[in-house]
Amino acid sequence: MTQSITNDGFMNQLDSLVRDFVKDQLETILVEEREQFFNEEHPELKQVKNGYYKRTLDTKHGHIDDLAVPRDRHGEFQTELFSPYQRRDQWVGETVTRMYQKGVSTREIGQMIEHMLGSAYSATTVSNITDVTLENIETWQQRPLKKRYSILYLDGTYLKLRRDDVANEVVYLVIGVSEDGYREILGFYVGGQESSLGWKEILRDLYNRGVEEVLLGVFDGLPGLEAAMKEIYPKADVQRCVVHKVRNAINAVRKKDQTAVAEDLKAIYEASTSEEAMSQFKTFQENWQGKHPKVVKSWEEDLNVLLTFLKYPSSIQRMIYTTNIIERTMKEIKKRTKTMNSLPSEKAAEKVVYLQSTEYNQRWSERKLRGFASAYQALQEMFETRYGKHSGSQTIEFSDIIPGTRDNI
């Protein structure tokens, strides 16, 4: 116990020494800044020194009291280290925002900041710090987009949102794959219950922001979504998620038949041509029409939109017959909010999704999806057949000259 107290006392003393050192260094820089400002940058200004004023500043090294900031009588000098009303350096704001993005509650962040800095931050203060992101969200949601996207992945997930009470509300998400094979979250939309009408408005928004030419939309079986896609992008193909369809079929048959049904369905979607897939479907139909007619009928009705992927280059087929790409993204967003139980407002939900989206887009901008380099020419021909030649200038990338240099996930 005595040893613990001694160690705590030593650490507190060390923290104090570090803060004092940082304070001395900052004050030295501030004085040098003022001299540089008047003597070198603006010698025409008359310098009338007026001493110092005291202020506090939260830094990554701790909370600094009574920082002496030099001033002049006419208010000409202003330090570049921080703004006049800034009470925390950039590191603190970035740390708070990053913790919020990772799903740490505002109350827990306040406690952690107090532990690091020695000064308390209320949950409201933490929320206000993260509100800086709101200034960027509207601009980000309205940003112009590319004209061409080979693939649009559409999916929705539910988060617990508190308005008058707590209820599950949808987060719509759209991931686009550019004609060069790079992923990008094009937009997200929070609120209400998922519907085809909601998706139509979202697709219309994408079109108005510049997305005019799309080859393929990939999504699950929400009723009316295919019609919504076709209304906004009549020349686009539609691909229903095969993985969802297989999962639903297996859940609808007797347990003792599940393995056999799964194997017969696998033979359909792993076929290399449409003709082979249809042949495998005939086998599936013959095997299960008697025992599970509803499952067979459901596949027969949706077969056209389940096998669309076979019209596309083989190098990307496994990536476009399922919504796995967007589902992994959704899973990560939900993971970030899991510890929050419920989000206090629509604004809070938007902050979490926005921060996650911008992080993904930055990461994805450096990595091309596997298979798209070799599929590039075939996809260009599909674009030209449906929409005509590209009117915009085409950027030639190093990875296009030497295939495979960035062709990986």
Task: For 208-222, write each residue's pLDDT tens digit.
Answer: 999 999 999 999 989
The answer to the question of residue 183 being in a domain is: yes
The answer to the question of residue 43 being in a domain is: yes
Q: Which amino acid is at 350?
A: E
Q: Are residues 71 and 167 in the same domain?
A: no
Q: Are residues 98 and 238 in the same domain?
A: no
pLDDT at residue number 313: 96
pLDDT at residue number 394: 44
The Cα-based distances of 360 to 2, 14, 330, 408 in angstroms read: 49, 39, 11, 16
pLDDT at residue number 400: 43
- Low-confidence stretches of the chain (pLDDT beneath 50): 2-5, 10-11, 14, 85-91, 117, 392-409
User: Residue 160: left if φ>0, alpha if ψ -120 to 50, beta else—which one?
Assistant: beta
Kindly state the helix (H) or strand (E) to which residue 297 belongs, with its residue range. Answer: helix 293-306
Q: Are residues 352 and 206 in the same domain?
A: yes
Contacts of 215 (CB under 8 A, 6+ apart): 149, 150, 151, 236, 237, 312, 379, 382, 383, 386
Contacts of 16 (CB under 8 A, 6+ apart): none
Kindly state the helix (H) or strand (E) to which residue 155 belongs, with its residue range. Answer: strand 148-162
Q: Are residues 35 and 63 in the same domain?
A: yes
Q: Are residues 174 and 151 in the same domain?
A: yes
Q: Are residues 130 and 166 in the same domain?
A: no
pLDDT at residue number 356: 84
103, 135, 167 - which closes a domain: 135
Q: Are residues 321 and 262 in the same domain?
A: yes
Please say whether the dihedral angle defined by the alpha carbons of residues 99, 103, 105 and 106, taken in this order, is positive or negative.
Answer: positive
Q: Are residues 177 and 304 in the same domain?
A: yes
Total domains, the chain: 3
The answer to the question of residue 2 being in a domain is: yes
Q: Which structural domain range is residue 316 located in?
A: 139-364
- The single-letter DSSP state of residue 61 is T
Q: Are residues 3 and 34 in the same domain?
A: yes
Cα separation of 73 and 160, whole Å?
A: 54
- The single-letter DSSP state of residue 32 is H
Full-model pTM: 0.68
- Are 223 and 196 in contact by the 8 Å Cβ rule? The answer is yes
Q: Are residues 9 and 104 in the same domain?
A: no
Helix axes 324-337, 346-364, angle to 10 degrees: 130
Q: Are residues 131 and 194 in the same domain?
A: no
The answer to the question of residue 238 being in a domain is: yes
